[in-house]
Structure 1
């Protein structure tokens, strides 16, 4: 057997790097943003914007996703929708730094609230909070602390234990038990969202094995308020925002927000 070896194997292309947005969304400007948290930690991110955009999205990334490696993939759909978008890397990850050893959920939730207040003061008009996967739990907790214009949860679920169980392959589940400890045990999107009074859109993928569609449906059904929408498409965990049905649902949400003002 002969194996061909080239430099591409040692230095692969990063196909979703953030700088690619300059080509795929040429009408937009991208600038770096930085916010110093109360404990001195520094949250760094980007603000993708253009004049005449319909609204702004504050986007919370999924676990293990960082802007410089994956930003072009996750932020481009918002440009397609004529939306500005602000996104930050989580503390001690990607562009962001932490000055303390504390790196738990409470610190992330505190960072999130401060970043929302910063973004709210930075932009005019509608500010929609959108969380994907792990970011949907962060966004849901924020929604319980702030009166938002609108909330979008993509690839979401009910609680931390269910989320962890879904990460385990089906063949291993009979042999694995979960003991959810510390602040993670308190995570429950149903509790966070029980009193919200603003529009919410939940996006689910029929082929999503990380946060399966039924768990997103359970969350949706638990919501008391009437301004809620659920859209399910033939997507996996990472690609729902690419589907026309999801973009149409987003446009309906924007229309609803516009009519409310």
Structure 2
């Protein structure tokens, strides 16, 4: 989605400026191979896992675990993020907190496979719910549902349908419309208008979490321009929940809030029942 919006912005501004683009910008960069995780967390076991859905789709991911972990995190990644490129970077903060970590690549993306069929947000949410039910049935102890960026909308939709031990939304916001609008920089807003279809317009975390009363932690990087602090705070303020906590992370952007020690301290305090 971000690449599409960037292209639209470039087209809109084509008459006003010249933007130099090189082939290097299109070459994927490995943010952290999974093999590196064993070097930084040798006490953990990294298992390849999979779950087969009724329609034949297969969700594949990883389970990073050790016997004395304090809790387990089911992590829903951002759009375009996949296990083999980003898994070690994403999992390491949870390993540092002595937590197990489970994450799957999205439908027909990365490691996951699927038959040719119509697939939209309702089907995506159904797959996420099936994965949660499977993980909940096969793990013991506290299970945290953690959604980052696009994954925060997936996690919130799941929380609407299940009681959770805890919900964490990182790099999140109020709605898909706000999310899309924030991806256009201020200087492009006079030239670019983002129009979403009805399915996307229906995505709103405030609606999904309106009746949610289980523990929820919202994490926002102060320097996040993709999902700005103000939109995360707006979502937090809309929640009528006695078990909510907000963490504004200094010197953090959209992708690195969990790498900060203060974020992990807040996370562990939240898991211990501290909401302020």
Please give the TM-score of this superposition, normalised by the length of structure 1.
0.92
Equivalence map 1:1-261=2 (5 Å): 14-234=30-250, 235-256=252-273
Gaps of 5+ in 1: 1-10
Deviation at 1:232, TM superposition (A): 0.4
Deviation per residue, 1:166-188 (Å, 9 max, x gap): 11121111112222213211100
Judged with a 3 Å threshold, the aligned counterparts in structure 2 of structure 1 residues 137 and 13 are, in CA distance, closer, same or farther, namely closer
Structure 1 Cα separation of the partners of residues 150 and 54 of structure 2? 23
Q: Distance in 2 between matches of 1:90 and 1:205?
A: 24
Partner of 1:171: helix, strand, or coil? helix
Q: Secondary structure at the match of 2:187?
A: coil
Instruction: Tell me by how many angstroms 1:90 deviates.
Output: 0.1
Deviation track 1:164-218 (CA, whole Å, cap 9, x = no partner) reads 0111121111112222213211100000001112110000011100000000000
**What do the CA deviations read for 1:52-97 (whole angstroms, capped 9, x no partner)?**
1000000000111000011110010000000001100001110001
1:12 is displaced (CA, Å) by: 9.1
Residue 15 of structure 1, CA deviation: 4.5
What secondary structure, in the 3-state scheme, does the structure 1 residue paired with 2:207 have?
Answer: helix
Counterparts of 2:189 and 2:91 in 1: how far apart (Å)? 34
Please say if residues 28 and 50 of structure 1, whose CA atoms lie closer than 8 Å, have aligned partners that are also in contact.
Answer: yes
Aligned partner of residue 174 in structure 2, secondary structure: coil
Q: Per the alignment, do residues 15 and 227 of structure 1 end up closer, same or farther by CA in structure 2, a change over 3 Å counting?
A: closer
Distance 2:179 2:73 in 1: 25
SS of aligned partner of 2:122: helix
- CA RMSD after TM alignment: 1.4
Total equivalences in the alignment: 247
